[in-house]
Amino acid sequence: MSAILEIKNVTRRFSGLVAVNDVSFDLQPKEILGIIGPNGAGKTTLISLISGTLPPSSGDILFEGKSIANMPAYQRARLGIGRTFQIMRPFPGLSVLDNVAVGALFGRGGGNAELARARELARAQLDFVGLGKNVDQRADELGGPGRKRLELAKALAMQPKVLLCDEVMAGLNLVEIDEVIDVIRKVRNEGISVLVIEHVIKAIKSLSDRLLVLHHGEKIADGDPETVLANQAVVEAYLGKRRA
Amino acid sequence: MKALQIPAVLIALIVLAAVPWFGSDVLVQFGINALLLAVLAQGWNIIGGYTGYASFGNSVFYGLGSYGVGIAMVQWELPFAVGLAFGVVLSVAFAILLGIPVLRLKGHYFAIATLALAQVMTAIVSNVKIAGQNIGLVLPPLNNDLLFYELALGLLVVATLTIYWLSRSRFGFGLIAIRENEEGAAVMGVNTTLYKVLAFALSGVFSALAGGIHAYWVTFIDPESAFDISLNVKMIIMAVFGGPGTVFGPIIGALSLSAISEFLSSEITSIAGLFFGVVVVAAVVLMPRGLADMLRRFRTTGWRYFAENIKATRL
């Protein structure tokens, strides 16, 4: 099977700082790829490069074999790339339902033009992530865990082929983490490829088919979770040299 | 819309349409002004209220609409309707050409950039021969206030229907998403640049039509009055007072503030401006989300509504 998403030697500089340095990897169809790394490793930058909110300084990004590196964010969304934000950014003045309806109105293939139908799809998506009871609330009235789920529902309403999750488990308790893991597994079972950025190593280890480690913007390991987490360089990146 | 709202709106519309038949000349003239201001407030509502871009450039559209009618009727001796269409074309062209660079700016920067546009336009038009330079243009008089009144009302109806459509269409949701979080809108598939320019142009269409009607009504335009920035401030105050991003808020704001301002300036001439300022300050502190929001929420929260808003502004 050919990869749905290919990252080829992508670099992103912020004036002097190299946030992502010559990173290459690919995402296979129906795969859950985990990306971990210490703070400042370049994880969120990487997601922004793929979703198109930041242009890469060099390198190429292919989606279904075609370069998307110079495409504006909205076109990538219409191709089928959905993302969540680590710093949750709902549309605060809109109801939870309408927040998600925006995803259904636009999203993949230009979305669904009819508001009533979009709201219907949004409702189904909210049930799916467990926010079915909160549809009429204003988005800024939701608590942290609720907003994480809302971020997921918004991205899923776009009917993406690839879902990029930026720390959807941060700040959740163990029960809530299990619930989100469950949702992400169900998403994959529907045929969507998922890229998960996470801090909670335990959660990502059980969730990912494959794990990739970023450190100072560089890829230092890539492989099955068990092997990667036992890797000497990874342990050093996380715990420092002496203790390892 | 709720079941009761449709008859209420229709009755209000019939009463408004009947005003020239039972009202005095003064009332009709007040009405033309107030209705045109309401159209301007609705026009601003599209770019400022729905899209979240506080435009100070809408008086440019108004001015271009005035000059469209002025130039077409005076210099080319074409009918009024052609002048209106010419003004709209000028406005849309302006919205597209200048909207693309200016709409890249956000927040205060956008406001300042558009503020400069009105000043620049005054200077440019003052030097354009066909526009009568800084002397202005005198249009052929048409003494028919009934016609101007009904035209203004008709335009307000069209503007309001457009905004009603916005509030429940894909396009309108795109604009609201841009207002609420532009980056979030883009990653969900909203073509933000295109939508912003379209909103700016649509806002310009209504402002230009209002300007064109006003020009023919007062029969005189000059650069100072056509591109008057205080008119832009007025439309913002009215839209925000009534409730930006709502369907009827800007109309309520425009009509009520016009009435208050008219009453004050006839009753207490010398300090009317001061009182008007007090009304606006009080409104901003007590109901920052506008009359529409206040009326909706007052029923459930009661007087606490005002107390909460005062607390929220951290006075």
* CA separation for the pair B130, B54 (Å, rounded): 32
Q: Same domain, yes or no, for B115 and B193? A: yes
Bridge partner residues of A18 (DSSP): A13
The beta-carbon neighbor of B192 closest among A74, A89, A90 is A74
- Asked whether residue B199 is domain-assigned, the answer is yes
- Asked whether residue B263 is domain-assigned, the answer is no
Residue B139 DSSP symbol: P
* CA separation for the pair B111, B48 (Å, rounded): 10
B229 burial level (CB within 10 Å; 0-12, 13-18, 19+): middle
Q: In the listed set B200, B221, B250, which residue is the last one of a domain according to the structure?
A: B250
- Asked whether residue B12 is domain-assigned, the answer is no
Whether residues A107 and B188 touch (CB distance < 8 A) is answered with yes
pLDDT at B150 over 70: yes
**Which residues in A lie closer than 8 A to residue B191 (C-beta atoms)?**
72, 74
Q: Same domain, yes or no, for B67 and B158? A: yes
B196 burial level (CB within 10 Å; 0-12, 13-18, 19+): buried
Whether residues A115 and B177 touch (CB distance < 8 A) is answered with no
The residue-averaged pLDDT of B45-60 equals 94
Q: Same domain, yes or no, for B184 and B280? A: no
Q: Same domain, yes or no, for B65 and B173? A: yes
- Asked whether residue B172 is domain-assigned, the answer is yes
User: The sheet that has A32-36: what strands, in order across it?
Assistant: A81-83, A162-166, A193-197, A32-36, A210-215, A218-223
Give A94 to chain B, closest Cα distance, Å.
Answer: 8
- Contact (Cβ atoms closer than 8 angstroms) between residue A164 and residue A46: no
* pLDDT value of residue A172: 86
- Asked whether residue B13 is domain-assigned, the answer is no
- Contact (Cβ atoms closer than 8 angstroms) between residue A125 and residue A157: yes
* pLDDT value of residue B214: 96
Residues 6+ apart with CB under 8 A from A222: A25, A210, A211, A212, A213, A228
The residue written with tokens 């009332």 in the block is B27
Helical (H) or strand (E) element with A11: strand A5-14
pLDDT at B297 over 90: no
* pLDDT value of residue B2: 64
Question: CA–CA distance from B80 to each of A1, B193, B212 (Å)?
Answer: 66, 34, 9
* pLDDT value of residue A244: 45
Q: Same domain, yes or no, for B99 and B145? A: yes
Q: Give residues 182 to 211 of B whose Cβ lies within 8 Å of A.
A: 183-193
- Percentage of chain B modeled with pLDDT above 90: 63
**Which residues in B lie closer than 8 A to residue A72 (C-beta atoms)?**
186, 191, 193
B81 burial level (CB within 10 Å; 0-12, 13-18, 19+): exposed
Task: Give the architecture-level CATH label for domain A1-80+161-244.
Answer: 3-Layer(aba) Sandwich (3.40)
In chain A, which residues fall in CATH 3.40.50.300?
A: 1-80+161-244
- Report the candidate in B314, B132, B98 with the shortest Cα–Cα distance to residue B221: B132
Residue A14 dihedral angles phi and psi, to the nearest 5°: -110, 100
pLDDT at B160 over 90: yes
pLDDT digits (tens, 9 = 90+) for A169-209: 888 888 889 999 999 999 999 999 999 998 778 888 889 99
The beta-carbon neighbor of A89 closest among B169, B184, B189 is B184
* CA separation for the pair A150, B8 (Å, rounded): 37
Q: Same domain, yes or no, for B278 and B199? A: no
**Which residues in A lie closer than 8 A to residue B189 (C-beta atoms)?**
74, 77-78, 103, 106-108, 110-111, 158
For residue B223 the two structure tokens come to: 């650069």
Taking CB atoms and an 8 Å cut-off, how many pairs form between chains A and B? 85
Span of A7-11, B22-26, B204-208, B288-292 with lowest mean pLDDT: B288-292
The two counts, helices (H) then strands (E), for chain B are 15, 2
**Which residues in A lie closer than 8 A to residue B183 (C-beta atoms)?**
53, 73, 89
* CA separation for the pair B154, B132 (Å, rounded): 30
* pLDDT value of residue A243: 52
* CA separation for the pair B279, B289 (Å, rounded): 15
The residue-averaged pLDDT of A73-90 equals 89
* pLDDT value of residue B6: 87
Q: Same domain, yes or no, for B154 and B237? A: yes
- Asked whether residue B3 is domain-assigned, the answer is no
Q: In the listed set B196, B218, B250, which residue is the last one of a domain according to the structure?
A: B250
* CA separation for the pair B149, B27 (Å, rounded): 10
* pLDDT value of residue B304: 82
Number of domains in chain B: 2
- Contact (Cβ atoms closer than 8 angstroms) between residue B185 and residue B22: no
Range of the domain at B196: 23-250
Q: Same domain, yes or no, for B73 and B213? A: yes
- Asked whether residue B258 is domain-assigned, the answer is no
pLDDT digits (tens, 9 = 90+) for B210-237: 999 999 999 999 999 899 988 999 999 8
pLDDT at A63 over 80: yes
In one-letter notation, the amino acid at residue B287 is: M
- B173 in contact with A at a CB cutoff of 8 Å? yes
pLDDT bin (cut points 50, 70, 90) of residue A1 is low
| Mean pLDDT score across all residues of chain B | 90
* pLDDT value of residue A242: 61
The residue-averaged pLDDT of B6-34 equals 91
Whether residues B174 and A106 touch (CB distance < 8 A) is answered with yes
* CA separation for the pair A43, B230 (Å, rounded): 49
ipTM: 0.89
Q: Give residues 74 to 113 of A whose Cβ lies within 8 Å of B.
A: 74, 76-78, 82-83, 85, 89-94, 98, 101-103, 105-108, 110-111, 113
The residue-averaged pLDDT of A208-226 equals 90
Give A213 to chain B, closest Cα distance, Å.
Answer: 25
- Asked whether residue B1 is domain-assigned, the answer is no
